[in-house]
Amino acid sequence: MYFIANWKMFGDLRTLNTLDKVIKFSKTNKKNKFQIIYCPPNTLIRPMSRRFKKTNIEVGAQNCHDSYDYGAFTGQVNSRMLKNVGAKYVILGHSENRQIGETDNLINLKIKSAIKSGLKIIFCIGETLKERRAKKTNQILKSQIEKGLKSIKNISNIIIAYEPVWSIGTGEILKEVALTETILFIKSRFKKKNPKILYGGSVNTNNIDKLKKIPNIYGFLIGGASQNPKKFIDIIQKSII
Between CA 153 and CA 214 the distance in angstroms is 28
Q: What is the per-residue burial (b if ≥16 Cβ within 10 Å, else e) of 87-120?
A: bbbbbbbbbbbbeeebebebbbbbbbbbbebebb
The one catalytic residue among 94, 96, 102, 131: 94
The one catalytic residue among 58, 96, 131, 163: 163
Residue 46's nearest CA partner among 14, 74, 75, 85 is 85
- Cβ neighbours around 34 below 10 Å, total: 14
163 as an active site residue: the answer is yes
Residue 2's nearest CA partner among 56, 76, 62 is 56
Between CA 137 and CA 16 the distance in angstroms is 38
> Which residue type occupies 59?
V
Structural element, H or E, at residue 145: helix 137-148
Give the 3-state secondary structure of 186-225. Answer: HHHCCHHHCCCEEEECCCCCCCHHHHCCCCCCCEEEECHH
65 as an active site residue: the answer is no
Report the catalytic residues. 94, 163
